[in-house]
């Protein structure tokens, strides 16, 4: 096994190890993202199919998301404590920490959807209600997938598209909520099912928001700009100036 004394340049050895650590935390973020994507897909499927066992599995597997988030956070803490990263590397570690927090919370939303799936399994629901949830879920899953792709490549253009496309998710969410309120007014006995549909759509909307957060971190890393609380139009204008 090679040791520092085996190398003619121990500083180069340390640098390569450090680069590997930075690459590792990025790859582990993507692994966590893949796990969370699977949780969302399973939770929505459980809701649409009325599959209680699948919903219970999603709830149980949330522990895997939490464990991975804690592990990545600990690795980032080690890098901060031992490596004293330069400005750009520090930005990377910071956005990794922020991103895994959002991914863990997306996992929480998937768990909430699974709980609503269990509730809905024993309640009558209209096919069109579930179809609209499927459509919203598909939009949201695309947002998250593209956000993770933007993170993988630190791609500002893809990140900006995700932030822009989130407006469509917000619009669909508002439509579903208005529709459920109408159903409740027309048929009060449908209230429990409609509320579960509304809370599910709310969880999906929140996943869209957290996907946008990830994209904001990508832009911060790539451009050094904090775009929170700035309109997408202003962000696009500012980045064009660069």
Task: Determine the Cα–Cα distance for residues 223 and 217; give it in Å rounded to an integer.
Answer: 10
Q: Give the list of residues 6+ apart from residue 10 with CB closer than 8 angstroms, or none.
A: 4
Rounded to two decimals, the pTM is 0.88
**Residue-number span of the structural domain to which 237 is assigned:** 15-241
Q: Give the list of residues 6+ apart from residue 82 with CB closer than 8 angstroms, or none.
A: none
Give the pLDDT of residue 128: 78
Note the pLDDT tens digit of each residue in 108-160: 999 999 999 999 998 877 677 889 999 999 999 999 999 999 999 999 999 99
Residue 156 lies in a domain: yes
Residue 5 lies in a domain: no
pLDDT at 47 over 80: yes
Note the pLDDT tens digit of each residue in 186-212: 999 989 999 999 999 999 999 999 999
Residue 152 lies in a domain: yes
Per DSSP, helices labelled H in the chain are 10-49, 52-83, 87-120, 127-153, 156-186, 191-223, 232-241
Give the pLDDT of residue 83: 86
Domain count within the chain: 1
Looking at residue 230, what DSSP letter applies?
S
Give the pLDDT of residue 239: 62
Residue 235 belongs to a domain with what CATH number? 1.20.58.220
pLDDT at 164 over 50: yes
Residue 2 lies in a domain: no
Residue 183 lies in a domain: yes
Task: Determine the Cα–Cα distance for residues 61 and 242; give it in Å rounded to an integer.
Answer: 43
**Lowest-confidence range among 19-28, 78-87, 154-163, 209-218?**
78-87
Residue 3 lies in a domain: no
CA angle (217 as vertex; 211, 220 as ends), nearest 5: 145
Give the pLDDT of residue 192: 92
């Amino acid at each position: 096994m090679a040791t520092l004394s085996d190398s003619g340049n121990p500083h180069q050895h340390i640098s390569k190890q450090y680069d590997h650590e930075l690459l590792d935390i990025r790859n582990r973020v993507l692994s966590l993202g893949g796990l969370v994507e699977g949780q969302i897909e399973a939770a929505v499927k459980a809701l649409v199919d009325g599959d209680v066992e699948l919903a219970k599995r999603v709830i149980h597997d949330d522990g895997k998301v939490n464990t991975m988030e804690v592990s990545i956070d600990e690795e980032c803490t080690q890098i901060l404590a031992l490596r004293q990263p330069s400005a750009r590397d520090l930005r990377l570690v910071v956005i990794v920490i922020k991103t895994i927090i959002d991914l863990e919370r997306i996992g929480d939303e998937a768990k909430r959807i699974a709980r609503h799936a269990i509730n809905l399994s024993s309640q009558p629901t209209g096919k069109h209600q579930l179809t609209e949830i499927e459509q919203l879920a598909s939009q949201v899953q695309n947002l998250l997938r593209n956000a993770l792709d933007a993170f993988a490549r630190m791609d500002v253009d893809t990140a900006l598209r995700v932030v822009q496309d989130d407006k469509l998710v917000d619009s669909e969410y508002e439509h579903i909520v208005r529709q459920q309120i109408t159903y409740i007014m027309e048929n009060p006995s449908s209230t429990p099912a409609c509320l579960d549909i509304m809370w599910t759509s709310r969880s999906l909307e929140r996943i869209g928001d957290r996907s946008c957060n990830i994209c904001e971190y990508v832009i911060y890393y790539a451009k050094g700009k904090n775009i929170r609380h700035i309109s997408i139009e202003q962000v696009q204008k500012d980045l064009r100036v660069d």
